Amino acid sequence: MIKKKVVVAVTGASGSIYAKVLFDKLIELQDQIEAVGVVMSDNAKEVWKFELGNQHYADFSDFTFFGKNDFNAPFASGSAKYDTMIIVPCSMGTLGRIAHGISNDLISRAADVILKERRKLIAVVRDTPFSLIHINNMKTVTEAGGIICPANPSFYSLPKTIEEVAGTVISRMLDLAGFEQQSYRWQEK
C-alpha cells in the first residue's frame, strides 16, 4: 500500500468538532499515512477554544503543524508530493480565495498547489444557507478538480453523541480521500 501525505487545513468556520474527530481518525489510520501537515488559521484556533472549550489541537504531536504564513512548508510546493488536502471546516472566505486563485496564506497556497498538480482537494464547507456567491465558488472549485463535501451529517447509523454525529461526515470524507476504514455502510452487515 502506498502511504498518503496529507495536508489538513482548519479554518475559522464553526465546526471545530469535525477537525477534532478527523485528527482522532487520522491517528487510528497511521498505518496508511506517511505524513500529516496541519495549518490552522488564527480564527480556527479561537473557534476551537470557544466551541470545544480547550486548545487540545496542540496535543496532536503525531502531526507537523505549520504557521499560517509559513510558505516554506513542504506542501507549499508540488514537488513535495502531498497527495490529499482536507479543509475542515472550510469557511466560505477560504473557499472564495481558493476559487479565485488568491494564495495569500499557506491554506490557500496549499490548495492552489493541490489543484494545479491535479491531486485531491476536499473542502468540508460549513456555512448555511449558501448564497449564489458560495454556490458559484463551489462550482468553480469543483470544475478545477476539488471535491465539495458539505458538513451534513447522516443519521441512519443512529449516532448517540455529538462526536458520532460529526464522525458520519468525517467517515464520508475519509472515504472520498481514499482511506481504508471501518465505518457504517448502508445496508451492509
Q: Which residues pair with 85 in a beta bridge?
A: 7, 121
CA 34 to CA 32: how far, in whole Å? 7
Burial class (CB in 10 A: 0-12, 13-18, 19+), 35: middle
Which pLDDT value is given to residue 185? 74
**Average pLDDT value for residue range 69-88:** 96
Which pLDDT value is given to residue 140? 98
Condensed to tens digits (0 to 9), the pLDDT of residues 158-185 reads 999 999 999 999 999 999 999 999 887 7
Which pLDDT value is given to residue 62? 92
CA angle 66, 35, 2 (to 5 degrees): 155
Which pLDDT value is given to residue 119? 97
Confidence of residue 189 (pLDDT cuts 50, 70, 90): low
Condensed to tens digits (0 to 9), the pLDDT of residues 7-49 reads 999 999 999 999 999 999 999 999 999 999 999 999 999 999 9
Which pLDDT value is given to residue 182? 84
Residue 186 above 80 pLDDT? no
Which pLDDT value is given to residue 188? 74
130 neighbors 160 (Cβ within 8 angstroms): no
C-alpha cell at 36: 500529516
CA 14 to CA 18: how far, in whole Å? 9
Which pLDDT value is given to residue 187? 72
C-alpha cell at 85: 488536502
Condensed to tens digits (0 to 9), the pLDDT of residues 83-135 reads 999 999 999 999 999 999 999 999 999 999 999 999 999 999 998 999 999 99
